[in-house]
Amino acid sequence: MATAVSNNTALSGTSATSSGTVSAQEQTDRFMKLLVAQLNNQDPMNPMDNAQMTSQIAQINTVSGIQELNATMQSMAAQFTSMQVLQGASMVGHGVLVESNTLSIDSGTAKGAINLASKADKVTIDIKTSGGQLLETINLGALPAGQSNFQWDASKYSGLSSVNFKVNATQGGNTVKSTDLAQDTVTAVGTENGAMSLQLKGRTAVAYSAIKSIL
């Protein structure tokens, strides 16, 4: 019994999806044909009254109006995304910060930032390989709450294209929460799933909404 219900539901879903692709004009034409057929085959002793006919016509007008509104909104959304991409083209070549603990190495230097939830009297950053090997520890000392930038000289580690980092921040011996930020460079602008995306030099494309700061 459960299988039968599932199958019927799937068929209904398929039918609804297919009808969703029918234009408003096609739906109106179908409705009018059905309405004429209904009038031709109605019981002469019990004909459809004006209220019923008016109600059915009102329903098809509502459906048509919603479809036309949806089409208009989709068109506006596409135009807005295109305008965003054109404006976003000016970001090519600029540095940006994304939330990540992976730093890409560019010209022998890896750049990033941390965002502290509150001030810290001791902040260190461990630079590690992707396999977890500790390469170096950067001592940033005391830092205020908010964003602080840092960079690491990777020139003596040839062959590395990226490294990971781990922040250790404390205030009076208590851990201070922080957000890891990695700096990268925008190389191209495009769209993905109807939204603007940015291609970065040292990592895969990210959504524009993932950008935390433009440098």
pLDDT tens-digit readout, 166-214: 999 999 999 999 999 999 999 998 877 777 888 999 998 998 889 999 8
In 3D, which of 79, 89, 148, 86 has the Cα closest to residue 117? 148
Whole-structure pTM value: 0.61
- Tens of pLDDT, residue by residue over 93-105, are 999 999 999 999 9
User: What is residue 84's predicted lDDT score, i.e. its pLDDT?
Assistant: 67
The CATH number given to 92-214 is 2.60.40.4070
- Tens of pLDDT, residue by residue over 45-61, are 566 566 666 676 677 66
Cβ-proximal residues to 198 (8 Å cutoff; 6+ apart), any chain: 88, 91, 96, 186, 188, 189, 205, 206, 207, 208, 211
Domain boundaries, the chain: 2-82, 92-214
